[in-house]
Amino acid sequence: MLTIARRGLEAALLILVLGSLGLAAFAQAAPLLGGGLYSVRSESMMPLLAVGELVVVQEAAPESIAVGDVVTVKLASGSTVTHRVIAIVATDGAPMFQTRGDANGGPDPVNVTSDQVVGRLAWHVPLLGFLLAMLSMPTGLAALFSVGATLLTAIWLLDEVEVADEDDEEDVEDAVEPEADRPVPAT
């Protein structure tokens, strides 16, 4: 039973380490591949995108973006927002996009220029955005290291318990001699 628990903890540790490293590597490589990874941090796009979803964005030419597309834009403040295009307005020959979160009552207060568009939503994965967010914050990294250290400690403790159980079994076997090995008392 302890072996099964230890194997489960080892698998969890492996998934944590490989998943974290893989996601971090993919997040770094995504811009080179013409895309980006983002974590959904608000409910503005419910029910399509829930808090904690990983959003994968693919570069898109401004002229290819249509009303109804979900795009990620970089705001002047440096933050990113993923919202749906509800209108396209041509100004001075360049398109501007009016966006709105699906769960919001009205459009976003400022139209988005084509150079602010990071890309179009390619796909999304539930819950992985939480891991991406953790990887991008010092406290998140500390939490991930803590979880890894806890798993390693639990594995070590289970190994110690297994070794102690094996030693106890050997002691019991040594204490009980088989009938054939006992000397026969003289009469």
> Could you please report the per-residue DSSP string of 55-107?
EEEE---GGG--TT-EEEEE-TTS-EEEEEEEEEEEETTEEEEEEE-TTSSS-
Instruction: Provide the CATH number for the domain around residue 103.
Output: 2.10.109.10
Residue 103 shares a structural domain with residue 42: yes
Residues 98 and 160 both lie in one domain: no
Predicted local confidence at residue 43, as pLDDT: 97
- Per the structure, the complete domain to which residue 67 belongs is given by 34-132
**What is the predicted pLDDT for the residue at 34?**
87
Total of domains in the chain:
2
Q: What share of the chain is helix, strand, coil (3-state, %, to 5)?
A: 45, 25, 30
Is 10 among the domain residues?
yes
Residue 46 lies in a domain: yes
- Band the pLDDT of 1: cuts 50, 70, 90: confident
Same domain, 26 and 3: yes
Residue 76 and residue 17 share a domain: no
For residue 93, pLDDT beyond 80: no
Based on the domain organization, do 46 and 107 belong to the same domain?
yes
Whole-model pTM: value is 0.74
Using the predicted structure, report yes or no on whether residue 92 has a pLDDT greater than 90: no
Same domain, 8 and 62: no
d(CA 2, CA 27): 37
Could you give the percent of the chain with pLDDT greater than 90? 72
Q: Is the pLDDT of residue 168 over 80?
A: no
Is 114 inside a domain boundary? yes
